[in-house]
């Protein structure tokens, strides 16, 4: 069962990928979905067995590398943290596989699509069950590959190809730091296996690297790696572009699972981070800034998927600042609930796009809520959960994180609290802006499209309903275990809070107005959205023209893409061209070529020396002999 949860998806991916063309699309879908259902059965069972039965376990598979003390093996580590992730990933992934049957029904290469989806799931599972940093890196890069393939799934579209490359390369920037963090971890602990690292935390606390505490440096390097994968401020630019991929992909990879890998990494390495206060402060500040920054952009975007993508970015920021103030449990809890409601929102958006004949611009929608009531209702549920409205899933996790930020000591916690509150307002605002503009008002699509608006088939709606149930109840049901009074028994040491870290307790001691504040802010965000877009729809236009520079700044995503293009991409290309044509072909190759032509000249000169006169030859020979003898005589040869 331990092995099955991880390897069934690989089996499905291999069969669909290698034999997809022979067995046909139907069979490929059937195989991958069967494998995913089996994996989900294993995964969810394990979630209850390991997390609630308190039975962590590690399954050794085989030796990977064992060179001079650098020992790594393939192994599946199941503790509460992995079990939560495995259960969530297999469950959500199965739903998304089923949804894709409907969504991709018109695509000519479905076998390939399902193979990629399953491959992605396998890589994600390897990531979360890794028992050492190298295997984690295998999954880490593996999900990068799968997301590259899936974003570029429609490879005939230039924009999709470019987005895929961008995703892979930006992720690689993070991976570079991950790799260096891995190297330092090895030289600090003499191992990259989690058990050994966590077991010798106390011994190596005094270790330093270049004058800095080694734990701090490891923490910062790994966090930079996490920034790439989890699209944090600075390395976030790939995520919105990744929306070029098919919508189920966005739901699976860019909302529910892959992008949360960074948060998972920080939680997994919590024993090290606990002794790295500066690294944690950086995590907090970057996370909080991302939460607010992405939310501001989300307010003005007009592509339905991009709004949700920025929302994901923002929610990841929340998770990071929660981890940064030491409340890793809260971060993972939000990761868990977020998977449900964000997958729901993405798949709901997919359902809308499906209904609107592949239109993604919300300015060309409107007036469709009566035609697709089920999607509309589920979109509401997802947004309620996202905005943290009481009793929905997001309420429990989000409130907890904001309270944790308030309860934390130091200015970073206060900064995170401020950003979290502001972002909570914006989240509610852009969520309802999205709902109102998409579903309400006058129809803005052309007549032809409007006639075709239809509710999605049951195979797409059913997974949405299941996710809707999760988005509604996951918070209520699981809060007592993840963050409530049973948290210590539930986590069972899978996440470590240092001896000085009492945040899990302090959260419950905050003043009474603090838990209420996010709700009030969220509700007012909804209200403002209603006023601006439902009741007085002339306000947004006026605001946009009154504050045109700010509006453009936000609309163009703070000009990050342009900035990077100007300081990295274009100089690198110019440098590449210069190095090739000037240095390589000019200077370096010029030497041998120059020598060659010199040799030709000399040879031509030498031809003239061959005069045919015996006397001059004799003279040359004697002169040469004289030099040779004198060299020998002075012992210069030996």
What are the strands, taking DSSP E only, across 28-69? 57-67
Q: In this structure, are residues 78 and 57 in contact, taking their beta carbons and an 8 Å threshold? A: yes
Site for other proteins, rule CB under 8 A: 21, 62-70, 134, 137-138, 140-142, 145, 148, 152, 155-156, 158, 161-162, 164-165, 168-169, 172-173, 175-176, 179-180, 182-184, 186-187, 209-210, 572-573, 575-577, 579-581, 583-585, 588-589, 592, 596, 638
Least distance in Å: CB of 110 to other proteins? 14
Query: What is the C-alpha separation between 197 and 213, in angstroms, rounded?
Result: 16
Nearer to other proteins, 65 or 500 (CB): 65
Least distance in Å: CB of 261 to other proteins? 14
CB-based burial label for 298 (10 Å; 0-12, 13-18, 19+): buried
Nearer to other proteins, 70 or 547 (CB): 70
Nearer to other proteins, 583 or 598 (CB): 583
Q: Write out the H or E segment, with its range, that includes residue 71.
A: strand 70-78
Question: % helix / strand / coil in the chain, to the nearest 5?
Answer: 75, 5, 20
Number of neighbouring beta carbons within 10 Å of residue 54? 14
Least distance in Å: CB of 281 to other proteins? 23
- Which one-letter DSSP state was computed for residue 510? S
Q: Residue 75, SS3?
A: strand
DSSP H helices, 191-327, are: 194-199, 214-229, 238-241, 247-251, 261-268, 270-273, 277-298, 304-324
Nearer to other proteins, 37 or 169 (CB): 169
Least distance in Å: CB of 178 to other proteins? 10
Nearer to other proteins, 119 or 517 (CB): 119
Q: Residue 498, SS3?
A: coil
Nearer to other proteins, 182 or 384 (CB): 182
Least distance in Å: CB of 285 to other proteins? 24
CA distances from 534 to 197, 232, 348 (A): 56, 33, 21
Nearer to other proteins, 141 or 403 (CB): 141
Least distance in Å: CB of 230 to other proteins? 18
Nearer to other proteins, 114 or 487 (CB): 114
Among 579, 15, 99, 542, which Cα is nearest to 348's? Answer: 99
Least distance in Å: CB of 262 to other proteins? 17
Q: In this structure, are residues 153 and 245 in contact, taking their beta carbons and an 8 Å threshold? A: yes
Q: Residue 59, SS3?
A: strand
Nearer to other proteins, 132 or 296 (CB): 132
Q: In this structure, are residues 339 and 426 in contact, taking their beta carbons and an 8 Å threshold? A: no
Least distance in Å: CB of 67 to other proteins? 5
Least distance in Å: CB of 512 to other proteins? 50
What are residue 511's phi and psi, to 5 degrees? -55, 160
Among 250, 279, 275, 276, which Cα is nearest to 346's? Answer: 250
């Amino acid at each position: 069962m331990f092995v099955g949860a991880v390897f069934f998806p690989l089996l499905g991916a291999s069969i669909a990928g290698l034999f997809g063309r022979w067995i046909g699309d139907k069979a490929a879908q059937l195989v991958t979905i069967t494998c995913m259902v089996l994996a989900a059965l294993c995964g969810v069972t394990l979630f209850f067995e390991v997390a609630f039965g308190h039975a962590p376990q590690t399954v050794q598979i085989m030796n990977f590398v064992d060179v001079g003390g650098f020992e790594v093996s393939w192994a599946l580590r199941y503790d509460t943290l992995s079990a939560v992730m495995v259960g969530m990933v297999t469950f959500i992934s199965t739903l998304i596989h089923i949804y894709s049957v409907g969504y991709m029904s018109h695509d000519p290469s479905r076998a390939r699509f399902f193979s990629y989806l399953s491959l992605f799931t396998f890589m994600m599972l390897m990531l979360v069950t890794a028992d050492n940093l190298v295997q984690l890196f295998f999954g880490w890069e593996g999900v990068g590959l799968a997301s590259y393939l899936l974003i570029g799934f429609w490879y005939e579209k230039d924009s999709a190809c470019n987005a895929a490359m961008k995703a892979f390369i930006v992720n690689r920037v993070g991976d570079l730091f991950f790799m260096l963090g891995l190297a330092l971890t090895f030289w600090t602990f003499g191992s990259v296996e989690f058990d050994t690292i966590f077991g010798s935390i106390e011994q190596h606390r005094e270790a330093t690297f270049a004058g800095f505490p080694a734990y701090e440096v490891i923490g910062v390097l790994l966090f930079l790696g996490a920034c790439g994968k989890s699209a944090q401020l600075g390395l976030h630019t790939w995520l919105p572009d990744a929306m070029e991929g098919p919508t189920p992909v966005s739901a699976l990879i860019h909302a529910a699972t892959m992008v949360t890998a960074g948060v998972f990494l920080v939680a997994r390495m919590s024993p090290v981070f606990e002794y790295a206060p500066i690294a944690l402060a950086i995590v907090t500040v970057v996370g909080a800034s991302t939460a607010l920054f992405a939310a501001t952009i989300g307010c003005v975007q007009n592509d339905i998927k991009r709004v949700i993508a920025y929302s994901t970015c923002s929610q990841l920021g929340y998770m990071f600042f929660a981890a940064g103030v030491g409340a890793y449990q809260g971060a993972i809890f939000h990761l868990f609930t977020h998977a449900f409601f964000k997958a729901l929102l993405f798949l709901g958006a997919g359902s809308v796009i499906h209904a609107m004949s592949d239109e993604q611009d919300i300015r060309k929608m409107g007036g469709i809520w009566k035609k697709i009531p089920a999607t509309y209702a589920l979109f509401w549920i997802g947004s309620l959960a996202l905005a943290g409205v009481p009793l929905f899933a997001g309420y429990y996790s989000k409130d907890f994180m904001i309270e944790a930020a308030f309860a934390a000591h130091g200015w970073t916690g206060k900064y995170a609290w401020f950003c979290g509150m502001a972002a909570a307002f914006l989240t509610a605002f852009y969520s309802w802006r999205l709902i109102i503009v998409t579903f309400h008002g006058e129809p803005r699509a052309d007549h032809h499209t409007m006639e075709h608006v239809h509710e999605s088939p049951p195979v797409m709606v059913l997974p949405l309903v299941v996710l809707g149930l999760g988005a509604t109840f996951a918070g209520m049901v699981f809060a007592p275990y993840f963050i409530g009074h049973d948290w210590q028994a539930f986590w069972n040491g899978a996440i470590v809070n240092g001896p000085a870290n009492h945040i899990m307790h302090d959260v419950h001691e905050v003043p009474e107005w603090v838990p209420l504040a996010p709700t009030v802010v969220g509700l007012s965000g909804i209200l403002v959205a209603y006023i601006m877009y439902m009741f007085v729809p002339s306000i947004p236009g006026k605001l946009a023209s009154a504050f045109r520079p700010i509006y453009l700044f936000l609309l163009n995503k703070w000009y990050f893409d342009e900035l990077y293009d100007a300081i990295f991409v274009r100089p690198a290309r110019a440098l590449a061209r210069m190095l090739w044509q000037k240095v390589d072909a000019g200077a370096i190759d010029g030497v041998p070529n120059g020598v060659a032509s010199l040799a030709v000249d000399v040879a031509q000169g030498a031809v003239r020396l061959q005069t045919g006169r015996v006397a001059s030859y004799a003279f040359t020979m004697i002169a040469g002999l004289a030099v040779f003898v004198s060299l020998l005589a002075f012992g210069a040869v030996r």
